[in-house]
Amino acid sequence: MSKLVYLVPLFPLAGFLINGLLRKKLSKSVIGIIGCGTVLASFIVSLLIFTEVRKEGFQPVLVNLFDFIHVGALQISFAFQVDQLSSLFLLIITGVGFLIHLYSTSYMHDEENEHYARYFSYLNLFVFSMLILVLGANFVILFIGWEGVGLCSYLLIGFWFKNIDYSTAAKKAFIMNRIGDFGFLIAIFWMISKFGSVEFTEVFAKSSSTSVAVLTGITLLLFVGATGKSAQIPLYTWLPDAMAGPTPVSALIHAATMVTAGVYMVARSNIMYTLSPITQTVVAIVGLATATFAATIALKQNDIKKVLAYSTVSQLGYMFLGLGVGAYTGAVFHVMTHAFFKALLFLGAGSIIHALHEQDIRKMGGMKKLMPITHITFLLACFAIAGIPPFSGFFSKDEILAAAYEKNPVYYIVGVLTALMTAVYMFRLYATTFLGKFRGTEEQKHHVHESPSAITIPLIILAILAVVAGFIGIPEVFANDSHWLQHFLSPIFAASEKAHPTPVAAKSTEWMLMAVSVIAAAIGVIYAWARFSKKPELGEPQGFGKILANKWYVDEFYDTIIVKPLNAFANFLNEVVEKSIIDWLVNGVGRTVQYSSRQIRLLQSGQVGGYILLMVISLVILFLVEIFVKK
């Protein structure tokens, strides 16, 4: 079955082409069936592959499709790699992806036929790109998917292209990603020059015999790429703006595709990161800083999608913290649990937005009774992201925090504080939206009802997953060999484990750490519930809250120090250098030529006497030259 892995990306590609090319001819139901069916087919193939991969002693399978580029000693094959890591991601992408497609059939139903088809074709292309990203057997194929998801996010964020703000957000996403890709590309060039190859097997094998300085450089550059794609400091600002797209797209970007790409890439190249301690420290600190920073912003946002967006940035920060401290399994585990609860949160938010046509939580309230299924699933997701046991987020986050403690207790403390904030902003969101009285208009209230089953079924499935997914990674303190995921992924991280064994904490320490983080989360939940269910924050924030509400003014800061100076400089080049200096010089040459030819023309006066005089003078000069110079 692994040999047939090319089918997994092939189905969505076919769906993209069919819906894209025939968008004017197909009916909505056909479009929906093609859009969802292709991803479902990929999911089924992925499941079959997974059953094969999960067998004990499975060896990675390389499926070489064709020679992509072969110049001199450089050989880049268009090849897919099937192993534990890629097969796990295949399941997440196609599984969660399918649910989002299904959800979209209802959510986007009001669009015109043509745009409905355009939407699904982009969605399929998105899934296709992400599949290429995780399947690629070398950095170039990975990069194809990497830029592919960047393109798809651009297309989908700007889906409603008539709104110029939306297309600006789309553009921002693409350019921010490009800045990251710049780093990624340089890393690729470096690898080609250093290793003569970009194939994973070859690069990783040669890593252990490469100088730490080179590895540090390459890994840092790759990480620059990850900060763009996975929205880390300093390139995270595109993700909150990406809310401009339709809500299911946000779910897709935040859960199944795109932002997890950076985590996947680092996990994939884990050996290179393990061997460069400086990079690891940078990754851990950037991750932690992003987690905390984004959480503070999320505390004061009033747009339901914005809160979720910053929570994604924050949760991704946790994942990078995990990668930085060497808890690769923990990071991948968190990718998975996060995929479930974050998809659920966004789809739940979409369900409300669809019903109310409103995104400001200050104008919601009391949705508990109005939309019971949305309410209960959303609540479960909130528990999961807050890290309340036994919901899934608890297990994955706890694993990262425990590893962070072993590396540096400060990481742990900041991490727990952030977990506290997470609980506060999520339950602020929950309480303001679902509890209390309905604050919308009478007309809205009249129209609100629970969403149709194409929307609620994905919610229910995701809710179940968000609750139980943690059990595949039960910490060893509970029972021996209970961490199935760690066991499953161990071949991927074997080399790193060998180079740098993960320190195992004493059981008592681990109980203590767990207790502290659970208590912190519980405090957050209780505080926010009590604080916001009765009296939601409805006014404009003041003082420090205002700074948070304005996202620390980072966008304004970038605008002042980068965008404006760059534009001014470009203007200067265009207006001054190009027109007044270079062109002036060029035209100056022309003017001089014209001027001198006018002067020389005067010599041709038509008077024979003048010519003879000139001839004589010239002859004399010639003679003198002959006599004195040419001796």
Partner 1 sequence: MIPVLLIAIPLLSGLIGFAIKNSNSAKNWSLFTAIITLAVAVYGLTLDKKAPGLQFDAEWIFALGSRFSLALDGLSQLLTLLTAISFPVILIATYNTSYKNAKNFYALMMLSMAGIMGVFLATDALLFYFFWELALIPVYFLCSQWGGEKRIAATFKFFIYTFIGSLLMLVGIIYLYLHTANHSFALKDFYGLHATIAPKDQAWLFWLFFIAFAIKMPIFPFHTWQPDTYEQSPAAVTMVLSGIMVKMGLFGLLRWLGPILPMGTWVWGDTASGLCIIGMIYASLVAMRQDDLKRLVAYSSIAHIGLMCLAIFATTEIALQGVMIQMFNHGINIIALWIVVDLIERQMGTRKISELGGLAKKAPALAILLMIVALANIALPLTNAFVGELLMFSGIYSSEATKYNVVFTTTAAVCVILSAIYMLNMIQKVFFGETNALTEKAMDIRWNEKIILGVVVVLIFVIGVFPQPALEFTKTTVEMILTKMNFKN
The answer, yes or no, to whether the previous bond of 475 is cis (omega within 30 of 0) is no
Beta strand pairing status for 74-82 and 61-71? antiparallel
Under rule CB under 8 A, residue 223 binds partner 1: no
Under rule CB under 8 A, residue 576 binds partner 1: no
Residue written as token pair 């600006």: 168
* Count of residues near partner 1 by CB under 8 A: 55
Under rule CB under 8 A, residue 63 binds partner 1: no
Q: Which stretch binds partner 1 (CB under 8 A): 53-61, 162-170, 323-331, 527-535?
A: 162-170
CB of 168 to partner 1, least distance (A): 7
Under rule CB under 8 A, residue 561 binds partner 1: no
Query: What angle separates helix 261-268 from helix 328-356, to the nearest 10 degrees?
Result: 170
Q: Which of 18, 40, 100, 140 binds partner 1 (CB under 8 A)?
A: 140
Under rule CB under 8 A, residue 70 binds partner 1: yes
Under rule CB under 8 A, residue 598 binds partner 1: no
Under rule CB under 8 A, residue 74 binds partner 1: yes
Q: Report residue 408: phi and psi, to 5°.
A: -165, 115
For residues 250 and 239, what is the distance between their CA atoms, to the nearest angstrom?
A: 9
For residues 194 and 420, what is the distance between their CA atoms, to the nearest angstrom?
A: 45
Under rule CB under 8 A, residue 195 binds partner 1: no
Q: Which of 67, 476, 540, 559 binds partner 1 (CB under 8 A)?
A: 67
Pair of tokens at residue 245: 């797209």
Q: Which of 468, 523, 582, 615 binds partner 1 (CB under 8 A)?
A: 582
CB of 112 to partner 1, least distance (A): 11
Q: Which of 25, 54, 69, 277 binds partner 1 (CB under 8 A)?
A: 69
Under rule CB under 8 A, residue 241 binds partner 1: no
Residue written as token pair 């659920």: 344
Q: Which residues pair with 138 in a beta bridge?
A: 199
Q: Which of 468, 570, 614, 622 binds partner 1 (CB under 8 A)?
A: 570
Under rule CB under 8 A, residue 190 binds partner 1: yes
Q: What are the CA-CA distances from residue 69 to residues 80, 131, 142, 298 (Å)?
A: 15, 21, 15, 45
Q: What is the 3-state secondary structure (H, E, C) of 534-563?
A: HCCCCCCCCHHHHHHHCHHHHHHHHHHHHH
Q: Which residues pair with 63 in a beta bridge?
A: 80
CB of 4 to partner 1, least distance (A): 20
For residues 441 and 116, what is the distance between their CA atoms, to the nearest angstrom?
A: 30
Under rule CB under 8 A, residue 506 binds partner 1: no
Q: Which stretch binds partner 1 (CB under 8 A): 33-41, 232-240, 574-582, 600-608?
A: 574-582
For residues 283 and 277, what is the distance between their CA atoms, to the nearest angstrom?
A: 10
CB of 354 to partner 1, least distance (A): 24
Residue written as token pair 């019903």: 355
Q: Which of 144, 205, 379, 388 binds partner 1 (CB under 8 A)?
A: 144
Q: What are the CA-CA distances from residue 571 to residues 140, 171, 342, 562, 566 (Å)?
A: 36, 21, 43, 14, 8
Residues near partner 1, by CB under 8 A: 66-72, 74, 114, 140, 143-144, 146-148, 151, 154, 158, 161-164, 167-168, 171, 174-175, 178-179, 181-182, 185-186, 188-190, 192-193, 566-567, 569-571, 573-575, 577-578, 582-583, 585-587, 590, 593
